[in-house]
Amino acid sequence: MRFLLPSFYTRDVVDVARDLIGVTLLVDGVGGVIVETEAYDKDDPASHGYRGQTERNAVMFGPPGRLYIYLSYGMHWCANIVCGEEGQASAVLLRALVPQAGIERMEERRGMVARSLLCAGPGRLCQALGLTRAQNGLRVDEPPVELRAGDESPPIAVGPRIGLTKAVEQPWRFGWAGSKFLSKRFPA
């Protein structure tokens, strides 16, 4: 298996978002293959970093290769990987993965739902992997987090991002085309 180098993250956030499809993410040994991501750029009105640094988004403005985790809608956690150059405040939102390792732990956290719903969506993914504010700022190349390159290059689907009111047209959502584990189908 191949571990991702720091130079993987220090590139353009859109490229990293696309290249994370097919990468395996584990947190404390629980996880699977990433099949859906979205890119958020610093010049992007939909990004938390757009209006400058605040207490919540401080991790986005720090070094790349760290988790930026925040609470969404008062009840769901969403996890990002900080990318680009330090201070750029760009990040990739992790939206879905194929449950492969530690499925029992995922089911303890998520309940006995269909396998395809275990990690399909940013909030579900965080719940299944046990990601909360406690993991905000963790490095992705040190325990308990682990990222391994995939050994095939997946068919990539591209589309507009989900759930936004700003910059809704930007095609910065990426997915493993045809995967059953996506949070939502990509528009044809």
Partner DNA sequence: GGCATGATGGCCT
Partner DNA sequence: GGCCATCATGCCA
Residues binding DNA (CB under 7 A): 38, 40, 46-49, 51-52, 54-57, 60, 68, 70-76, 78, 80, 91, 93, 110, 113, 117, 121-125, 161-166, 183
Q: How far is the CB of 68 from DNA (least distance, A)?
A: 7
**What residues contact residue 11 under an 8 Å CB cut-off, 6+ apart?**
83, 84
Pick the closer one to DNA by CB: 72 or 86: 72
Give least dist CB 178 to DNA, A. 19
Cβ closest to DNA, residue 51 vs residue 153: 51
Which CB sits closer to DNA, 1 or 112? 112
Residue closer to DNA by CB (options 2, 166) is 166
Residue 128 CA: distances (Å) to CA of 20, 55, 64, 86: 19, 26, 24, 29
Q: How far is the CB of 78 from DNA (least distance, A)?
A: 5
Residue 157 CB, shortest distance to DNA, in Å, is 17
Whole-angstrom Cα distance, residue 13 to residue 151? 21
In the complex, what is the shortest distance from the CB of residue 82 to DNA, in angstroms, rounded to a whole number? 10
Q: Which is nearer to DNA, 1 or 114 (CB)?
A: 114
Rg of the chain over Cα atoms, rounded to whole angstroms, equals 15
DSSP string spanning 76-141? EEEEEEEESSTTS-EEEEEEEEEEEE-HHHHHHHH-S--GGGSSBSHHHHHHHHT-SGGGTT-BTT
DSSP reduced 3-state for 161: coil
